[in-house]
Structure 1
């Protein structure tokens, strides 16, 4: 596409262009979430042995530019209001229902929503949509991209590709920041500037950019806390870092989630050097609290995996002894009842992803 020419303006008012919907139906490439009620892959309502597409459920899939397809036809592009409607549908109707169904459905829903959210961003890019209209769509998409790694932490690699997911997060943040530069004073800018700082923990370029933000954004409580967490991380002050994390809301903690394992591992290494002695006893319940873990059992398992001895008694203790410490990889991501589930409260995951204020609006109008 010639960048000097005017970008195409989307004219498709459905979540999926009619041409694509018909083509994928004929090729048998409909997802289960897109089929008419009563249809299935193995049996049900069929035309020429193929399931029927439900126009209200079919969502445009991501198409690689290298595939030789025309991506800039106005009839195939969705304008911002339709893109926003699509993101809300994916999160409220597909994702939340999958959460309630179970792990098998969750894996299927993640692959579907991830692909369709990627297609949403592709439509934004082709139309060069910036400003508030672009920000609204990207904010909802990023809500999903930031929360889903916590929810799909136990899925196999073929379902959840950490590298591909991370690339989409970074690209979405980059485009969102451009939207904010194009049109200042977007309502949720401070929130997402803080989310970027938490996701990119310790990145000096991100911190420097945050310090150059307009005062109305840079002095917001969200950005100030996120910067303080970054400073605590750079200083190695993990005690202060975990105390600051308690001030974050659910979405912010999900943005930080990928750093929990490495920071807890670093904390155990520091404690092993600081309290290195066969005779020193460190209370396990205190360690659990300092690392913001859910219970002493989890804390004890983290210690024993590293060769540290847990001494039983009325109050279990840890023996931090360098000679017994094993240099292993950080623990796999775990469920965080204290740091995430408690903060979520009564909100659904779709409401957390879209913003709690919007979640209240959605529930009050059901």
Structure 2
């Protein structure tokens, strides 16, 4: 990575997609539907698609022996990368194409942007600006893909790419600092880790003042298994990126909550209404709460549950979406989620 004073002058491609790549992909009918002209964008056959060069964005490709990855004409300088990130996020907000198509395209092209940044050893100021622009996409897209059963979504790959962005962001943040909300997103995402509260304490003077104490309270609530307070705080966070960065903990928070409730109300004469549990643990639907209770061995009858005796061995699978669904809590209905 370059020093603060060095310019990123080893990249000369001034378009979102290098000319050589445009020619190569056109000759081999490798035009993505979102790169097609209006007349052919919906055409199913890739052979009949005509490229709109203004929409074409460099694809991610793995480094290979013998390939000239450091050719300046194939690398985009910071102003072009910044413009490309803005274009991709605008596309994610405004495209009427299927979410699967949009997600696959944007995720791949953002990965190519990070590749260009690494190859040309972009300076920290520019690196920070680009990463802070793209990281919210990964937080929000994670929930959207999980909730919509997106065919092109690979949970492990997406998580790896998000962690890669966060690790690189932290490296630059510790070097030059930042007052953006991404520092809060980082802390919320890692709220269950031992070192997170230490990070929070050390970074306190750099964190956005309006939310500094709120995020600290959320971290403490999660660590103390104060599940109701944690969920209330998450629901009050002002941006989708912040709320989605905390979503990572919803399933474990609900498991801890149901475990605590089942212990506190373990009596043969006490019944708890499922509606109450839904309110405590921010469930959207009674079916989701019922599925979670059933997996813990508790039977729901007529909208109530008795925790005195389990009817089966607990088999919670926190990867199942009924543990994680919280559309109302995250509130992802805004028009410009990726550019708040």
Q: In which range does the TM-score fall when normalised by the shorter chain?
A: 0.7 to 0.9
- Residue 279 of structure 2: aligned partner: 289
Residue 323 of structure 1, aligned match among 265, 290, 310? 310
CA distance, structure 2, for counterparts of residue 204 and residue 229 of structure 1: 14
User: What displacement does 1:158 show?
Assistant: 5.7
| Count of equivalent residues | 334
Q: Quick one: structure 1 residues 222 and 126, their matched pair in 2 at CA, closer, same or farther if it must change by over 3 Å?
A: farther
User: What displacement does 1:131 show?
Assistant: 3.3
Q: Quick one: structure 1 residues 216 and 306, their matched pair in 2 at CA, closer, same or farther if it must change by over 3 Å?
A: closer
Matched, 1:162 2:155: yes
Long gaps (5+) in structure 2? none
Partner SS state of residue 153, structure 1? helix
CA distance, structure 1, for counterparts of residue 168 and residue 62 of structure 2: 18
> Any residues of structure 2 matched to 1:1-366 within 5 Å, and which?
9-39=10-40, 51-66=49-64, 68-93=66-91, 95-98=92-95, 100-101=96-97, 105-154=98-147, 159-184=152-177, 186-188=178-180, 191-213=181-203, 215-217=205-207, 220-249=209-238, 250-312=240-302, 316-324=303-311, 326-330=314-318, 331-332=320-321, 335-341=325-331, 344=332, 347-348=334-335, 351-354=336-339, 356=340
CA distance, structure 2, for counterparts of residue 203 and residue 227 of structure 1: 13
CA distance, structure 2, for counterparts of residue 43 and residue 327 of structure 1: 44
Partner SS state of residue 96, structure 1? helix
CA distance, structure 2, for counterparts of residue 287 and residue 89 of structure 1: 43
> Quick check: 1:8–1:72 contact (8 Å CA) kept in 2?
no
Partner SS state of residue 286, structure 1? helix
User: What displacement does 1:305 show?
Assistant: 4.3
Partner SS state of residue 300, structure 1? helix
TM-score, structure 1 as length reference = 0.81
Poorly superposed stretches of 4+, deviation over 4 Å: 5-8, 40-44, 154-158
TM-score, structure 2 as length reference = 0.87
Partner SS state of residue 305, structure 2? strand
User: What displacement does 1:110 show?
Assistant: 1.2
CA distance, structure 1, for counterparts of residue 154 and residue 42 of structure 2: 26
User: What displacement does 1:298 show?
Assistant: 3.5
Measured on the aligned residues, the alpha-carbon RMSD in Å equals: 2.9
User: What displacement does 1:238 show?
Assistant: 1.6
Q: Quick one: structure 1 residues 277 and 67, their matched pair in 2 at CA, closer, same or farther if it must change by over 3 Å?
A: farther
> Quick check: 1:30–1:53 contact (8 Å CA) kept in 2?
yes
User: What displacement does 1:329 show?
Assistant: 1.1
Deviates more, 1:5-14 or 1:84-93: 5-14
- Residue 364 of structure 1: aligned partner: none
CA distance, structure 2, for counterparts of residue 11 and residue 183 of structure 1: 26
- Residue 361 of structure 1: aligned partner: none
> Quick check: 1:293–1:299 contact (8 Å CA) kept in 2?
yes
Deviates more, 1:127-136 or 1:162-171: 127-136
